[in-house]
Amino acid sequence: MKIYNTLTRKVEEFIPYHKDSVKMYTCGPTVYHFAHIGNLRSYVFEDVLEKTLNYLGYQVTRCMNITDVGHLTSDSDSGEDKMLKGAKRENKTVMEIAEFYTEQFKKDIESLNMKWPEIVEKATSHIDTYIEIVEKLMEKGFAYESGGNVYFDTTKVEDYYQLTNHKVDEMVVGVREGVEEDSFKRNQADFALWFTKSKFEDQELKWDSPWGVGYPGWHIECSGISIQFLGEYLDIHCGGIDNIFPHHTNEIAQSEAYLGHKWCKYWVHGEHLNDSTGKMSKSKGEFLTIDLLKKKGYNPLSYRFMCLNASYRKVLTFSYEALSNAENAYTKLKNKISTLSEDGDFNQQDYDFYDRKFKEYIGDDLNTANAITLLYDLLKSDVSNTTKIKLIDMWDRVFSLDLLKTKDDKELEEEVKQKIKEREEAKQLKNYELADRIREELLGKGIKLIDTREGTIYEFVNKM
Ligand code: AMP
Ligand code: ZN
């Protein structure tokens, strides 16, 4: 597998620390508002990366944070806490806002057929971890207290700008973008690890710390959660390109200073989705969400299809015309596949020939556009339908475009999900009789429910 590494600015052979078990961290959403479809483009590319790794035989442990504290309106530690801003906007508490938008985000993830990462952790659940890291950074001389806050001293690390290709001037401008200088910092590039003093005294969530009651900076949460759940050696860290600086730059500085060795091998970033005015925004222009696309009659998977037809490393510009074109092409593709009846013998040679090509494309820095072209080639070919169906079934583990699902399958899926929800509610109300009845009813239809730590899943069994 080859992948572009922002750290080396090269497409590299992927050689993880952990051989077949890959540790992958992806920066999660700040749950102060709905995700826009630009945010979701980043998650689609990360989903494709995880599924590609699986397809190529790697076992992946993926962790994602939910930012519910510490992310200020400017990424460089100034402005109001985004969560607090969301809470004020809606006259709710920060906790209510976090819960509501985390649920919405889950729905978006489902609508786009993404896999919910195995480990998802809220920033507010790991304050002790951040405090421990900050204490160690202070001990080692990488951090200092000033004006009531704790800052990381960026001059203490050897190569602070390694991820940004040393475009120091640009980065310093980035730091100052729309921001008044923080006179407590020794160097303007320094960043906050812990706040006890900010201009916003009405911060809702605060915790005790050796430096006083306060709250963590945004960057420390990803280092803390990643190290706690994936260990000291991380294979892949992802995010959108805006995360390169300052967020990921700061994550590298503090993690490596804390650990005393190199931390993450591959930094993989997805390019942005823009709208006609340029950068996509939650506050200006039309706020493009999955719900809005649904309301306008689009299938969210047409948007996924649109993303897969472009390289994750190229800017994609959204327009309704482009989305309509994607929806037409996607519908036609599905219709064509639905006409394949399972006839002809399975041919292993044909299967291997096409599957090898598929692996070559997706393993070539996630060239999903070529993989989709290969799918069209396969459909046009004289390969037997049985072989085609088997290939499409396998490839859809990466595409996740429901290529073989009919409308009936989708409806059944919705029905089962609804029943699972009703059963959960019944269990919460301690109505175990109803919960059991729902389980039996589904089993009678050949659907077996399995309760796991992450929730209830189901599988088809022979009807009883
Ligand atoms: P946030 O919720 O603001 O922390 O952002 C969540 C993810 O979306 C991060 O990985 C960002 O890098 C990414 N992101 C933000 N804007 C865009 C965009 N226009 N296109 C693609 N990804 C984006
Ligand atoms: Zn992060």
**Please, which residues have CB within 8 angstroms of residue 461's CB and are 6 or more apart in sequence?**
443, 446, 447, 448
Sign of CA dihedral 74, 311, 398, 417: positive
Which among 74, 81, 242 is the best mutation to test ligand 1's pocket, defined by most ligand atoms within 8 Å of the CB?
A: 242
Closest alpha carbon to 50 in 114, 122, 121: 114
Residue nearest to atom 3 of ligand 1 (CA): 30
Question: Minimum-distance ligand to the CA of 222?
Answer: 2
Which among 6, 26, 30, 42 is the best mutation to test ligand 1's pocket, defined by most ligand atoms within 8 Å of the CB?
A: 42
Predicted pLDDT of residue 411: 82
Do the bridges between strand 215-216 and strand 191-195 make them parallel or antiparallel, or are there none, so unpaired? antiparallel
Pull the structure tokens for residue 446: 């050949």
Predicted pLDDT of residue 199: 59
Residue nearest to atom 22 of ligand 1 (CA): 39
Predicted pLDDT of residue 174: 44
**Please, which residues have CB within 8 angstroms of residue 433's CB and are 6 or more apart in sequence?**
none
Return the number of other C-beta atoms located less than 10 Å from residue 132's C-beta. 14
Predicted pLDDT of residue 391: 98
Which among 24, 34, 39 is the best mutation to test ligand 1's pocket, defined by most ligand atoms within 8 Å of the CB?
A: 39
Question: Minimum-distance ligand to the CA of 64?
Answer: 2
Question: Minimum-distance ligand to the CA of 248?
Answer: 2
Site residues for ligand 1, CB cut-off 6 Å: 27, 29-30, 38-39, 41-42, 67, 239-240, 242-243, 272-273, 280
Whether the CB-CB separation of 142 and 267 falls below 8 Å is answered with no
Amino acid identity, position 297: G
Q: Give the separation between CA 95 and CA 205, rounded to whole angstroms.
A: 9
Residue nearest to atom 5 of ligand 1 (CA): 29
CA 272 / ligand 1 centre spacing (Å): 8
Closest atom of ligand 1 to 241 CA is: 12
CA 219 / ligand 2 centre spacing (Å): 6
Residue nearest to atom 21 of ligand 1 (CA): 272
Q: Give the separation between CA 88 and CA 227, rounded to whole angstroms.
A: 33
Residue nearest to atom 23 of ligand 1 (CA): 39
Whether the CB-CB separation of 272 and 240 falls below 8 Å is answered with yes
Residue nearest to atom 14 of ligand 1 (CA): 39
Whether the CB-CB separation of 99 and 189 falls below 8 Å is answered with no
Tell me, rounded to whole angstroms, the distance of Cα 117 from its chain centroid: 8
Pull the structure tokens for residue 463: 């009807």
CA 99 / ligand 2 centre spacing (Å): 19
Q: Give the separation between CA 236 and CA 233, rounded to whole angstroms.
A: 10
Predicted pLDDT of residue 455: 82
**Tens-digit pLDDT string for the chain (464 aa):** 999 999 999 999 999 998 878 999 999 999 999 999 999 999 999 999 999 999 999 999 999 999 988 777 766 666 678 888 888 899 999 899 999 999 999 999 999 999 999 999 999 999 999 999 999 999 999 999 999 899 999 999 999 999 997 666 555 544 444 455 788 899 999 999 999 877 566 677 889 999 999 999 889 999 999 999 999 999 999 999 999 999 999 999 999 999 999 999 999 999 999 998 888 888 888 899 999 999 999 999 999 999 999 999 999 999 999 999 999 999 999 999 999 998 899 999 999 999 999 999 999 999 999 999 999 999 999 999 999 999 999 999 999 999 999 877 878 888 899 999 999 999 999 999 999 999 999 998 889 998 887 788 888 886 44
Sign of CA dihedral 10, 75, 153, 143: negative
